[in-house]
Chain A
């Protein structure tokens, strides 16, 4: 009994002396992994795939592409007047859809990147809208408009890519659990 009592007292000291810190860390890590896997735990670092987000991005893409297509089809000399008139209103309408998209993206958990892409899209759109209304003679030239459209398409493509990546992660999870 006395020996048993002594063994219990000296066990932590014995373990400390015998096991190196790295070994103890490894044991702790393996125990954690075993615990997690036995409990059926899984990690979640990104939000789930959201089809509505893709649909909103598609709607915005259509509006942006159509806007630039129509503006490029307008005679260069008539473009300032068009921006002061109906095209200016369209710019405001597209900005509203984009702002709504930002709010929806910000409302999703674990979606900081999706929200950032949505915010960047609005900021670029507003910068271009301000530039269109400026006195700069090249603000509405074909080259400027094509470069702007290219930049906006990159934001939109990033939004699609970010959402598709989440879909890929979800399908990998479901296939692994089968």
Chain B
């Protein structure tokens, strides 16, 4: 009976985890870039409004506070993306390792 190659199974599981994490990592990166640009656009529009006297100081202050709140929402969305990515990676790793071990056990029985 061929011996179970744990190193190979572990490497395959690790690769499965990394593959599962790739789309989530890219999505997180894209989202981060998108929120930076959105924040910049908001700040620019407030500054332009103040400069053209279309937005008063009080309104600008209120808008800035709400801009921070929007940033908090974007950070929360980023947090979910990262958690979901980690979840997908860990589950792919466990699943791959479990399949390899199950196959090895079935062969040995």
- A residues whose Cβ falls under 8 Å from a Cβ of B: 33-34, 36-46, 113-114, 116-117, 120-121, 123-124, 127-128, 131, 136-139, 141-144, 146-148, 150-151, 154-155, 157-159, 161-162, 165-166, 168-169, 172-173, 175-177
Work out how many contacts link A and B, with CB atoms closer than 8 A.
Answer: 177
Find out whether the CB atom of A41 lies under 8 angstroms from the CB atom of B94: yes
Find out whether the CB atom of B41 lies under 8 angstroms from the CB atom of A176: no
User: Chain A: interface secondary structure?
Assistant: helix
Kindly list chain A residues whose C-beta atoms are within 8 Å of the C-beta of B72: 116, 120
Find out whether the CB atom of B97 lies under 8 angstroms from the CB atom of A37: yes
Docked Cα-Cα span, A142 to B69, in Å, equals 22
5 A-B pairs with C-beta separation under 8 A: A117-B77, A144-B54, A147-B63, A154-B38, A176-B96
Partner of A42, one of B45, B91, B101: B91
Kindly list chain B residues whose C-beta atoms are within 8 Å of the C-beta of A44: 87
Partner of B77, one of A37, A40, A42, A162: A162
Docked Cα-Cα span, A143 to B50, in Å, equals 9
